[in-house]
């Protein structure tokens, strides 16, 4: 069964390997350039010595050169990759069998339906876990010079740690269920991607910042400041990596609501766990439907 599953999904596997190779080449080129620039400008040494407070000119120069491409453009692209990859792998897994009618042959063999289904799911999920871990390692290495300035929370949370792999598995589960329900691979990809993206958006915008753990608060000195930047570097909290949620001027002081950088890994496991539970529930529904649907 493992050999059959590989034969049926080798084109998707090759595509995923190509995606990983392209990402690695891009990361090597840009990551090496960022490391060279950081060292040449003395930014690395300054960050180690002052934590960023003593090198605003070097930080500004580095962000002007790399900030938009690394933080904004790359994020806009990479935030979609787990969902697109997951649904492309998941939707045809059962959807193609039901669409073409080959399930009649597959389920009439000596191999029980449950074993057939478990083998197919095991091969696909194992491959996605390996892909997610590899992509996470590449992106973490690539972003390391930028993470010294912005931390892991604000721009890197979605593709560092365990989150990216969990997003992949959740999108895959949505694809499998949509394929069972629609019996059409292309339609299932669209039907699976839309709710996955909507859930991602809600979690990222509303649940993660305020509900995984209550934000911390502090009052920082402001003096005569007239411009308030929520993404200021270093943060008003004085610690690189803190995720500033809101900054409000109150008299001559700033009221800052933020998530400390130390909460990055707890938040990763909370969010990853949510998406894994959702993936397990969706796959459970798909398996139940497969056992019931035979025509």
pLDDT tens-place string over residues 68-80: 777 777 777 788 8
User: For the segment 222-233, what is each residue's pLDDT rounded down to a tens digit?
Assistant: 766 667 777 777
Residue with tokens 């001027």: 249
Q: So what's the pLDDT on residue 267? A: 96
Q: Which of 7-11, 62-66, 84-88, 203-207 has the lowest mean pLDDT?
A: 7-11
Q: What integer is the mean pLDDT of 46-72?
A: 71
Task: Report the range of poorest mean pLDDT among 59-68, 141-150, 252-261.
Answer: 59-68
Q: How confident is the model at residue 10 (pLDDT cuts 50, 70, 90)?
A: low
How confident is residue 51, by pLDDT bands cut at 50, 70 and 90?
low
Q: Report the C-alpha gap between 217 and 210 in whole angstroms.
A: 12
The per-residue pLDDT for 295 is: 46
Q: In which band, very low, low, confident or very high, does the pLDDT at 274 lie, cut at 50, 70 and 90?
A: very high
How far are the Cα atoms of 9, 96, 168, 184, 284 from residue 101, in angstroms, in the given order? Answer: 18, 8, 28, 11, 22
- Beta-sheet pairing, 243-250 with 216-221: unpaired
């Amino acid at each position: 069964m493992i050999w059959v599953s590989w034969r049926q999904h080798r084109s998707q596997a090759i595509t995923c390997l190509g995606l990983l190779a392209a990402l690695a080449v891009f990361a090597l080129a840009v990551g090496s350039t960022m490391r060279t620039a950081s060292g040449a400008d003395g930014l690395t040494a300054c960050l180690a010595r002052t934590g960023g407070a003593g090198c605003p000119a070097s930080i500004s120069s580095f962000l002007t050169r790399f900030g938009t491409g690394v933080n904004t453009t790359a994020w806009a692209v990479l935030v979609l990759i787990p969902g697109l990859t997951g649904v492309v792998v998941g939707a045809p897994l059962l959807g193609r069998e039901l669409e073409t009618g080959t399930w009649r042959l597959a389920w009439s063999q000596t191999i029980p339906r449950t074993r057939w289904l478990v083998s197919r799911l095991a091969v696909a999920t194992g491959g996605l876990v390996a892909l997610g871990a590899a992509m996470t390692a590449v992106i973490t290495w690539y972003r390391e010079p930028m993470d010294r300035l912005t931390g892991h929370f604000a721009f890197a949370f979605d593709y560092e740690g365990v989150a990216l792999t969990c997003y992949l598995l959740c999108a895959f589960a949505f694809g499998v269920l949509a394929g069972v329900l629609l019996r059409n691979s292309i339609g299932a990809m669209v039907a699976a991607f839309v709710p996955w993206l909507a859930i991602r958006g809600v979690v990222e915008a509303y649940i993660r910042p305020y509900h995984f753990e209550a934000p911390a608060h502090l009052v920082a000195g402001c003096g005569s400041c007239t411009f308030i930047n929520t993404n200021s570097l270093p943060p008003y909290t004085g610690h690189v990596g803190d995720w500033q949620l809101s900054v409000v001027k109150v008299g001559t002081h700033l009221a800052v609501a933020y998530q400390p950088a130390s909460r990055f890994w707890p938040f990763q496991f909370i969010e990853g766990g949510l998406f894994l539970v959702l993936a397990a529930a969706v796959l459970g529904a798909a398996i139940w439907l497969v056992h019931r649907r035979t025509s």
